[in-house]
């Protein structure tokens, strides 16, 4: 009924075919192609396709990498995993095949727009089978799904349960509906304590200059230094971005990607990569020098700068990602849950991972930005 293929580059597929399945996705063809061209160390890319009668009806990106299992856990779980590494280091760094992307907010399956809803489970099942066959050829004992899209939660859950995957909670995604006319009206919605705190923090604006640019240009080396400082404060990490990533996103997404740069005097202390599509402003990466950035309240200044950008451009939603969720809740965001899934080919190891699953860490960058 279905024919499947697994590509190693999006260049092997006409762009129009992918776009038809992922219409309007901010992290669509251009963004994924930028990730592919970024030269991220230790990653290889996959694009799983499902055809019916020669026509593309389903697709999803995927990746392969060597994965350090202990980075997934916190507290007791990490201590156990670190002890296991001392006795069986190979077991603790399995080759992982994962649906989704290390650089996207969610794992989303694209379907042909005229595909009947009742056919989608069969298409996803065929896609998972093709993904697993490719994972076996690549000698990946561990398979997963990174942050399955909430809008497709039931579809993912049923398909992956049948395939023997276990679910663990992912880090929720924060967003804010822009249904207020100006920042004053937004502030009026916050609690009195938060409102006073934000008004105090906003006084730092007088000493900060913000520039919006299509590229990082000559500030790219300094921006990368800020990125690596932010990454070093993370509890765990999956990918390490490269200068080529930021350059590729800028080159492939003109008019949809913008950098906000935060200066104090002539010193660049923070930058923010933002994506937009006329409806949504997506905050991809905020990186800053910790001590001076906090002294100038740059994280919170960036929040209000981004809200004002939404208002100026008539955007309807500010999606601020997975880090710093406590602050985002205080600032009126709503949280959308996400789920991750995994399956190990070895039954004993799969059982051990299931036992450790309640100790999984959410977002590795949680708490480092502000």
The gap from C-alpha 304 to its chain's centroid, in whole angstroms, comes to: 22
Quick one: average pLDDT of 229-253? Answer: 91
Quick one: average pLDDT of 100-121? Answer: 96
| pLDDT band at residue 116 under the 50/70/90 scheme | very high
Strand blocks (E) in the chain: 3-7, 44-52, 55-66, 95-99, 110-111, 142-148, 166-169, 173-177, 209-213, 257-264, 267-276, 280-288, 317-321, 334-336, 339-344
Mean pLDDT of the chain: 90
Residue-wise pLDDT for 127-171, tens only, equals 999 999 999 999 999 999 999 999 999 999 999 999 999 988 888
pLDDT given at position 226:
98
Which pair of tokens denotes residue 198? Answer: 């934000």
Residue range(s) occupied by CATH 3.40.630.30 in the chain: 3-172+338-359, 174-335
CATH of domain 174-335: 3.40.630.30
Half-sphere exposure of 56 (CA within 13 A, CB side): 20
> Above 50 in pLDDT, residue 200?
yes
The model's pTM? 0.90
Q: Any idea which architecture 3-172+338-359 has in CATH?
A: 3-Layer(aba) Sandwich (3.40)
Which pair of tokens denotes residue 147? Answer: 């942050």
pLDDT given at position 294:
96
Neighbours of 189 (CB within 10 A): 12
> Above 90 in pLDDT, residue 184?
yes
pLDDT given at position 370:
36
């Amino acid at each position: 009924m279905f024919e499947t293929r697994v590509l190693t580059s999006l260049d092997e597929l006409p762009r129009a075919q992918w776009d038809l399945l992922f219409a309007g996705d901010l992290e669509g063809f251009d963004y994924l192609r930028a990730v592919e061209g970024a030269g991220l160390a230790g990653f290889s890319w996959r694009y799983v396709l499902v055809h019916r009668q020669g026509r593309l009806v389903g697709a999803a990106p995927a990746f392969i990498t060597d994965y350090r299992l202990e980075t997934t856990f916190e507290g007791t779980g990490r201590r156990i995993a670190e002890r296991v590494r001392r006795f069986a280091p190979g077991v603790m760094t399995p080759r992982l095949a994962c649906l989704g992307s290390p650089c996207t907010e969610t794992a989303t399956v694209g379907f042909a727009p005229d595909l009947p809803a009742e056919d989608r489970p069969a298409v996803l099942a065929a896609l998972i089978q093709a993904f697993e066959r490719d994972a076996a050829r690549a000698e990946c004992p561990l398979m997963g799904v990174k942050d399955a899209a909430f809008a497709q939660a039931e579809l993912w859950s049923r398909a992956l349960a049948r395939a023997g995957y276990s679910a663990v909670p992912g880090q929720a995604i924060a967003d804010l509906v822009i249904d207020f006319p100006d920042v004053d009206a937004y502030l009026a919605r916050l609690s009195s304590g938060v409102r006073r705190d934000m008004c105090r923090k906003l006084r730092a604006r007088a000493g900060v200059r913000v520039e919006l640019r299509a590229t990082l240009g000559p500030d790219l080396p300094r921006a990368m230094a800020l990125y690596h400082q932010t990454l070093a404060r993370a509890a765990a990490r999956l990918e390490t971005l490269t200068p080529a990533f930021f350059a590729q996103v800028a080159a492939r997404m003109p008019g949809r990607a913008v950098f906000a740069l935060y200066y104090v005097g002539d010193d660049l202390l923070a930058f923010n990569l933002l994506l937009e599509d006329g409806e949504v402003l997506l905050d991809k990466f905020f990186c800053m020098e910790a001590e001076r950035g906090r002294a100038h309240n740059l994280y919170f200044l960036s929040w209000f700068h981004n809200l004002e950008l939404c208002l100026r451009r008539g955007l309807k939603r500010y999606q601020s990602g997975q880090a710093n969720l406590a602050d985002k809740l205080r600032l009126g965001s709503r949280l959308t849950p996400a789920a991750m899934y995994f399956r190990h080919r070895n039954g004993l190891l799969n059982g051990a991972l299931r036992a450790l699953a309640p100790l999984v860490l959410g977002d590795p960058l949680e708490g480092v930005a502000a």
